[in-house]
Amino acid sequence: MQFETIILGAGAAGMMCAIHAGRDVLVLDHAKAPGEKIRISGGGRCNFTNLHAGPANFLSQNPHFAKSALARYTQWDFLDLVGRHGIGWHEKTLGQLFCDDSAKQIVAMLLDEMAQTRATMWLQTKITSVNKTETGFRLTIENQSAQKTVDCQNLVIATGGKSIPKMGATGLAYDIARQFGHALTQTRPGLVPLTFPDGRFAGLAGVALPVRVSCNNTSFDEAMLFTHRGLSGPAILQISSYWREGDTVRINLFPNSDPYETLRSQRQQAGRKNLSTVLAQMLPSRLAEHLVDDWKLSGNLADQSDTALRTLCDRLTGWDLVPTGSEGYRTAEVTLGGIDTDGLSSKTMMSKTVPGLYFIGECVDVTGWLGGFNFQWAWSSGFAAGSSITAQG
């Protein structure tokens, strides 16, 4: 069987590419349904893009690589598509856009667009081998218990990274990249909770508060959540992409106020109050109790000199913690690193050394922040490859 273009992966990037790749497109995926990561994202409402999406919101060994694709298919282009399909949406926080109703609407929208271009999709299909031919590529696949051979001129790899293996994530994209001589950057879990030994924060599980978290010259102001295994919440997921084993994470428990002035004022008004009582009025009570015990704080406010209060506030605004690890790919939202962008065209996503071979989406060494940025990379990189294929046709 012969197709002009075969796309491996019926996720966000793969379906977007299929919509723009022109005629005679076949999309293959091992899952039972397309767009599974879209369906479960954003609590079932899909944080499908971000109003503020731009190159600065992405990590890569080459920070300039994503600029071309992001500029040529923007968040406004995707919003226009969503609007044409009558999908209601709202901004939740920090430019994050969600469906009013269901993430399934985004999947349905993409399938409808694919149907208009008459793209074919085979699900529950296993890729057995991929080989180069004189005119393109030959794939051996298993579909409906039968082995088949399919040929194509263009082959697009959109099979994602290693994150969330229970949904079927594999390293297939990396295997194919290596097979055709492409280098990989180091891969690791990204947007992932951080862990600490011996249930250090187990007693605080469920406590959440706004913080500023910093690591390696990068900071995020968002919510932090204590868990049985360590720290999570948006602020921690964000900083996890910048953290490496052995690094210190600094937490400011008062990102929007000055605790020193608050404590000095309280000392004048209620100096007889126990320090722990006052802290429990400024922080979640369980966290205040934990810090009092951990830092061995005691005495009334009146007993605290300005110097003692300043030292305490330095700790409250600069709480240094060293995580032992992360929860890994099991809960990571994305994979950091991937196929080295040096081997790809930033305009078309095509291999510089193997004509007709494209890599898009999460498998490439471009990783977005939390908040709809990774979906925007899927839309933008999928459009870049698809429109390039159409232009060649």
pLDDT in tens, 257-295: 999 999 999 999 988 999 999 999 999 999 999 999 999
Q: What is the mean pLDDT of the chain?
A: 96
Q: Is the pLDDT of residue 104 over 80?
A: yes
List 214's β-bridge partners, or say none.
Answer: 219, 250
**What is the per-residue pLDDT for 170?**
86
Rounded-to-integer distance, Cα 302 and Cα 299, Å: 8
**What is the per-residue pLDDT for 97?**
98
Q: Is the pLDDT of residue 169 over 90?
A: no
> What is the pTM for the complete model shown?
0.96
Query: Binning pLDDT at 50, 70 and 90, where does residue 225 land?
Result: very high
**What is the per-residue pLDDT for 152?**
98
Please choose, from the candidates 261, 256, 291, the residue with its C-alpha nearest in 3D space to the C-alpha of residue 275.
291
Q: Is the pLDDT of residue 145 over 90?
A: no
Q: Is the pLDDT of residue 44 over 80?
A: yes
* Average pLDDT over every residue of 62-81: 98
Q: Is the pLDDT of residue 41 over 90?
A: yes
**What is the per-residue pLDDT for 368?**
98
Four-point Cα dihedral 104, 108, 110, 111, nearest 10: 130
More confident residue, 393 or 192: 192
Q: Is the pLDDT of residue 393 over 80?
A: no
Residue 154: CA count within 13 A, CB half-sphere: 28
β pairing state of 188-190 and 319-321: unpaired
Query: Binning pLDDT at 50, 70 and 90, where does residue 22 land?
Result: very high
